[in-house]
């Protein structure tokens, strides 16, 4: 039976539905269920390496054009036609700043799953067994376990309240509601939103007052936090509308800049031929440097870093509002 229906059931029906008892389940039964449901934790998320994230910052067409400009400048210097490294240093610094800002932004977004794992990190839990109370690591909880919840405890699993003594729980990391919710074991006979299920407690929420006993209804990926983790893992890393638009604009600008630079170079060569000054390596290099200078000057070089910085600031503001962000 899915967790969403437990809040609509009588306590005895919940206990029966989970094949448990008012004294909980035995250690042997808990072990059997653990082999079925697995540990009460979230799976390790796939993380993109920092190196891969870094090199992904160079996919922008405008950045690629600047890299080509650096390569041309280096070739000119290596051929002995130029000794000034100023342009190379300036362009390289800009590219590195943009790449580092982008890397930090994407690395932080990659940590969303780690933030969830931190919420459900293993902790001690008071569990009721037929032979008495036990302190077990929350990783080993299974559906059907009876758990004690007291002031200051982090709720170790999704559970249906059985009895309470003025229990209040802060559920802001799930619902965004900053005020603690007063819990009670009464049945709710109609469908209600997560934040209104006052007879349920959820993994990672904090008991701020009172105490209570609850029966575990979901662990691991079968918790509300687990479902969020699954949604995050299923998100395809597709380009956002802004990224698609900027990629299109970048290609259009890049194409125009390249065509313009080629025209300048060709016109310069043709002019030399028509005038009759002759074509030599110095002349060719001069026109190449002119074309590169025009490319760099025509490029909205501040655009990539402005976009990257804006996205980083936006992500920071969302994080302050307790939003989990993935690329």
Closest of 287, 159, 308 to residue 243, by C-alpha: 308
Residue 327 domain flag: no
> Of all helices (H) and strands (E), which one includes residue 128?
strand 124-129
Residue-wise pLDDT tens digits, 15-65:
999 999 999 999 999 999 999 999 998 877 667 778 888 888 787 777 887
Q: Are 67 and 161 found together in one domain?
A: no
Per residue in 258-279, pLDDT (tens digit) is: 888 888 878 888 887 787 776 7
| 197, 232, 267 - which closes a domain | 232
Question: Domain tally for the chain?
Answer: 2
Asked whether residue 326 is assigned to any structural domain, the reply reads no
Cα separation, 224 vs 161, in Å, equals 16
The full DSSP string for 49-114 is: -HHHHHHHTT-SHHHHHHHHHHHHHHHHHHTTS----HHHHHHHHHHHHHHHHHHHHHHHHHTHHH
User: What is the CATH classification number for the domain harbouring 194?
Assistant: 2.70.150.10
Q: Is residue 246 part of a domain?
A: yes
Cβ neighbours around 192 below 10 Å, total: 13
Residue 143 and residue 25 share a domain: yes
Residue 176: domain span: 3-42+120-232
pLDDT of the residue at 323: 60
User: Mean of the pLDDT values across residues 223-249?
Assistant: 75
> pLDDT tens across 128-173, in order?
999 899 999 999 999 999 999 999 999 999 999 999 999 999 998 8
Of 232, 250, 277, which residue is a domain's last? 232
Residues 68 and 207 in one domain: no
Contact at 8 Å (CB) between 98 and 308?
A: yes
In a domain, 314, yes or no: yes
Q: Could you tell me if 36 and 144 lie in one domain?
A: yes
- Considering the domain architecture, whether residues 287 and 312 belong to the same structural domain is answered as yes
> Looking at 202, 232, 262, which one is the last position of a domain?
232
């Amino acid at each position: 039976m899915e967790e969403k229906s437990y809040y609509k059931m009588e306590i005895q029906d919940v206990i029966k539905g989970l094949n448990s008892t008012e004294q909980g389940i035995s250690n042997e039964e808990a072990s059997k269920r653990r082999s079925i449901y697995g540990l009460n934790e979230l799976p390790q998320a796939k993380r993109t390496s920092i190196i891969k994230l870094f090199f992904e910052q160079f996919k922008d067409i405008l950045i690629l054009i600047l890299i080509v400009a650096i390569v041309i400048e280096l070739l000119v210097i290596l051929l002995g036609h130029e000794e000034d490294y100023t342009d190379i240093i300036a362009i390289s610094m800009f590219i590195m700043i943009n790449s580092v800002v982008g890397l930090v932004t994407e690395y932080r977004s990659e940590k969303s799953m780690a933030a969830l794992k931190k919420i459900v990190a293993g902790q001690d839990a008071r569990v009721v067994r037929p032979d008495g109370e036990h302190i077990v690591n929350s990783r080993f909880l299974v559906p059907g376990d009876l758990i004690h919840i007291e002031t200051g405890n982090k709720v170790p699993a999704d559970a249906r309240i059985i009895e309470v003594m003025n229990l209040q729980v802060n559920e802001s990391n799930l619902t965004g509601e900053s005020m603690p919710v007063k819990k009670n074991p009464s049945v709710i006979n109609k469908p209600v939103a997560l934040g209104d299920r006052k007879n349920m407690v959820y993994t990672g929420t904090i008991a701020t007052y009172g105490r209570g006993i609850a029966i575990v209804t979901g662990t691991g990926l079968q918790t509300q936090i687990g479902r969020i983790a699954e949604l995050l893992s299923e998100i395809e890393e597709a380009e956002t509308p802004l990224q698609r638009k900027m990629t299109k604009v970048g290609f259009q600008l890049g194409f125009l800049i390249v065509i313009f630079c080629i025209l300048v170079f060709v016109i310069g060569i043709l002019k030399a031929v028509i005038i009759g000054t002759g074509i030599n390596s110095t002349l060719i290099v001069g026109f190449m440097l002119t074309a590169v200078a025009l490319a760099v000057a025509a490029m909205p070089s501040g655009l990539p870093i402005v976009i990257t910085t804006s996205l980083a600031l936006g992500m920071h503001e969302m994080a302050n509002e307790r939003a989990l962000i993935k690329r």
